[in-house]
Amino acid sequence: MNPAQVPIKASTQEHLDLEDVKDNVVILKDGSCLIVLQTNAVNFDLLSENEQDATIYAYAGLLNSLSFPIQIFIRSRQKDISSYLKLLKQQKQKQQSEKLKEQISKYQEFVEKMVKENEVLDKKFYVIIPFSTFDLGVSQTVKKSVIGKKNQLPFPKEYILQKAKTSLLPKRDHIIKQFTRIGLKISQLNTRQLVELFYDIYNPDLKAQKLRAADEYSNFVVEPNIKDQEDKKDKETKD
C-alpha cells in the first residue's frame, strides 16, 4: 500500500491531557481527575476595616481547614463586548427617532473606543479540586505496566469516575461552605460548561462561540465510519 494512502488517525486530542469530560468530572489520560468550581471576587479595597478583618479571618479559616490540595486559577482576557454591541445595534434599528439613533451610535462608538484603548479585561476565578492517581490506588507497578500502551487508562473509565466522585464530592461541599463564609458565590461547572471552558482555553482567538449541548455528542473525537474503512481496505487489497 502506498504510504500516502494510509489514513491518518492522529488528532489534536492525542496531544492533550484530557481523556473525557463526564458527569461534571474531567478525566485525564493518566487516570487522575478533577472538578472545577467557579467563584466571584470581592473588591477588598471597598470594604470597611471591620469587613476586611472578617474577610481575612474567614480566608485564614478556609486555608487552615484544608486537608487536601486545591488550585486557584485566575483567567484574564480582553473583554468581549460583541454581544453587547449586537444588542445596541438591535435597539438602534427599533428606534423611530433619528435623534435617538444618533445617540445610540455615539454611545456604541464610545464603548468600542473605551474597551480598545483601556484594554478592559474580563477576569474569571476558578477553584480546582484534583483527584490524583495516588488517590485512585495506582501503584508504580501499574504505571509501568501501561507504559507504551498509548492513551490507555489504568482502570476502566466507569470505575475511575466512581472513585473520583466518592472522593471529590465531599471536598466540593466543604469548599462551597468555606467560600460562602467569606461571602463568595461558588458553584461547580457542569459537563457542558467544562467542555466550553476547555474549548475556549485551547481556542483563544475564537470569540462568542457557543457549543451544542454536551449530551448531544456521543464522542469528543470524530472518527471515520468503520464500514467505510473496511470497504476501502478490501478495494485496495483487490487492486
* Number of CB atoms found within 10 A of residue 27's CB: 22
CA distance 130 to 167: 10
Q: Identify the bridge partners of residue 236 per DSSP, sorted by sequence position.
A: none
What sign does the dihedral 16-17-20-21 (CA atoms) show?
A: negative
* Predicted TM-score of the model (pTM): 0.70
Distances (CA, A) of 152 to 8, 149, 155: 20, 6, 9
pLDDT in tens, 67-118: 999 999 998 877 777 778 888 888 888 888 888 888 888 888 888 887 777 7
User: What residue spans define the domains of the chain?
Assistant: 15-77+122-220, 80-119
Helix (H, G, I), strand (E, B) or coil at 197: helix
Length of the chain: 239
Helix (H, G, I), strand (E, B) or coil at 143: helix
pLDDT in tens, 152-176: 788 899 999 999 999 999 999 999 9
- Cβ proximity of 127 and 186 under 8 Å: yes
Q: Identify the bridge partners of residue 78 per DSSP, sorted by sequence position.
A: 121
